[in-house]
Amino acid sequence: MTDLLQIFQHQYFSVIAGGVGGIVTAWLTQRILNRRGVFSYSVTHSRVGVTTEDPVFGNVAVTLNGQPISNLYFSTLEMKNESLNDYENVSVRVYTNDTKLMTEQTQLLDNPINLEWSEKYNKQLAIETGKTPTDAQWNIYNGQREYVIPIFNRNQVIRIAYLNSANSVTAPTIWLSIAVKGVKLKFKVPQNQILGVPQAQAAVVGILIGLIVLVALASLVSEPWAIALSAMAYGFSAQVPGAYAIKLIRRVREAIGG
């Protein structure tokens, strides 16, 4: 028993055990992270114009290609691959029930590639030579779109924008869904950004960093006014170090994910 304890206490055994434990921990962490598949998306709406009869300003009319539009909006959807995996042939569906989707613009950001309609969607809208679109095809075109992303790498973003005609004066609602095994889609309310990071997150992390800095100052600086002045100065720009800290965490996370 004594010999066994001496082996466990030997420095070389500790180094080997620590190394093996680190390898096993890294492997398990990688397995867990690779199982995590998350896409997030947000939607923003901007009113372009409205057709109305105003007693003060008179009649105002909005038209698109010569057709009158009651409530014209420009809506933008953005979806980001927040997982640590890259995906192929991602099916994306956009749909609505209170506005008419019209002209569109699609883009894989930082890439010259535009999104293509899916084969299924193309077949639904296929028109025989010499014929015009049916009412059912117009309903499909105005109410939904379906795309395929050939390759969707980690941290990549797609952007889809529509001119659309809302059925009422309120802003339209447009949703997005995906068909990818093992991936969860989350809706995010659009937030103001600082250095590419949501301001709320940057502020929280910045405050935590500030508390650590404040403790360090209290132990190193004896003058209370200097501590108060430094804390006040930091408070005005706390979001900046918070944003950089979040970006650093993202970089480390990407490095772990390969």
Could you report the per-residue pLDDT of 192-221, keeping only the tens digit for each?
666 666 667 777 777 787 777 777 777 777
pLDDT digits (tens, 9 = 90+) for 119-138: 999 999 999 888 899 999 99
Sign of dihedral through CA atoms 3, 6, 11, 16? positive
The predicted pLDDT at position 168 comes to 85
Contact between residue 198 and residue 205 where contact means Cβ atoms under 8 Å apart: no
87 Cβ neighbours under 8 A, 6+ residues apart: 37, 81, 149, 151, 152, 180, 183
- Per-residue pLDDT for 153 more than 60? yes
The predicted pLDDT at position 85 comes to 87
φ and ψ at residue 83, rounded to 5 degrees: -85, 180
Contact between residue 52 and residue 58 where contact means Cβ atoms under 8 Å apart: no
Question: Which pTM was predicted?
Answer: 0.66
Q: What's the chain's average pLDDT?
A: 79
Output helix, strand, coil percentages for the chain, rounded to the nearest 5. 40, 35, 25
The predicted pLDDT at position 123 comes to 94
pLDDT-based confidence at residue 64 (cuts at 50, 70, 90): confident
The predicted pLDDT at position 205 comes to 79
* Closest to 217 measured CA to CA, from 231, 204, 205: 231
- 71 residue type, one letter: N
The predicted pLDDT at position 8 comes to 45
- Per-residue pLDDT for 36 more than 60? yes
Q: Is 178 helix (H, G, I), strand (E, B) or coil?
A: strand
Cα separation, 143 vs 94, in Å, equals 8
pLDDT digits (tens, 9 = 90+) for 164-186: 999 888 889 999 999 888 899 99
- Per-residue pLDDT for 253 more than 70? no
The burial class, CB within 10 Å (0-12 / 13-18 / 19+), for 257 is: middle
Contact between residue 164 and residue 101 where contact means Cβ atoms under 8 Å apart: yes
